[in-house]
Amino acid sequence: MRSTAVTGERGDGPDILVAGEALIDVVHRHDGTVEEAPGGSPANVALALGRLGRRPRLLTALGTDPRGERVRLWLEASQVRLHAVRAPQTSISTAYLGPDGAAHYDFSITWDLRGAEVPEAEVLHIGSLGATVGPGASEVSDLVDRHRGRALVTYDPNIRPRMIDDGDTVRDAVHDLIRRADVVKASDEDLDWLHPGADHVQAARSWCRTGPGLVVVTRGRSGALAVSGDRVIDVPGVPTEVVDTVGAGDTFMGALIDGLASQGVAGATARTDLTGLGEGRLSALVRRAARAAAVTVSRPGADPPTTAQLDGMP
């Protein structure tokens, strides 16, 4: 199991709660090898925040089997505080990597948060399967309602088409969460699924008109777009040798939340503080998040950088 020491813990920062799936990734590499590692998009976001010294809380569902224990140890090693509802078994994601390192996924998910009780936070992040797969998705939606106007609410749709039987229902659910979030990070593939054939900037602007104050669209090697009101910031990609793309978008999301927290964007004033960020600060936050994702793609699996590794980059 990979382990990276966490340095520069920021105990005086905002309380951050991440809600979503934690699971085991079974990775089939292009060379025929197969390996297992802890993962799950929201868990990866929490891991990235922990590596950056934030000590986030993660609300999730885990089995008491050996795989669940492996996930627990992996998260706790990076200072993630767990609120784990007991599940019949630990969920599994099977990733198939192509020769370019790109991943395609299949899932076996157990997702139920009934009975969970967690204190409210100053930052709430939701995403991926946990936000749309029942029955746990209804508890995630309730968390959003509890935190709106009281916290910074961030959302990463992280669409997994293989898990979707009713595309229209999932699109409606995703758009409802987008309208209720303050910050949305989506990949270009997410946008293509949600708005087939649409221009990415125009789609992001339409989201901003109905809800979030900031939308960031990640585009892999092509970098990222940040849209806030009438502002469009184009951040170039970070040149790097790609080992695989597992966890790259989640690392980007974690680093973006960390950057916003560093700017004081949290709590009841989050939305006002977010809209007050100047173009220079927004650009710097997105560039830093892109550098963090570049570190992750340069290493196998979801292995985000620490603060020292990230801020020591040129």
pLDDT in tens, 245-281: 888 999 999 999 999 999 999 999 999 999 999 999 9
- pLDDT of res. 7: 40
pLDDT in tens, 65-111: 999 999 999 999 999 999 999 999 999 988 788 887 777 778 888 89
pTM metric for this prediction: 0.92
In contact, 24 and 95? CB cutoff 8 Å:
no
Concatenated DSSP letters for 133-169? STTHHHHHHHHHHHHBTTBEEEEE----GGG-S-HHH
pLDDT at 314 over 70: no
Question: Domain for residue 140, yes or no?
Answer: yes
pLDDT in tens, 155-189: 999 998 877 889 999 999 999 999 999 999 999 99
- pLDDT of res. 223: 94
pLDDT in tens, 36-53: 989 999 999 999 999 999
Question: Domain for residue 309, yes or no?
Answer: no
Q: Say which CATH number the domain at 127 has.
A: 3.40.1190.20
| Pairing between β-strand 81-86 and β-strand 224-228 as defined by DSSP bridges | unpaired
Q: How many CB atoms are located within 10 Å of the residue 303 CB? A: 22
Question: Domain for residue 7, yes or no?
Answer: no
End-to-end Cα spacing for the chain: 28
Question: Domain for residue 4, yes or no?
Answer: no
- Residue 189, classed as helix, strand or coil, is helix
Q: Which domain holds residue 114?
A: 16-302
| Number of structural domains the chain divides into | 1
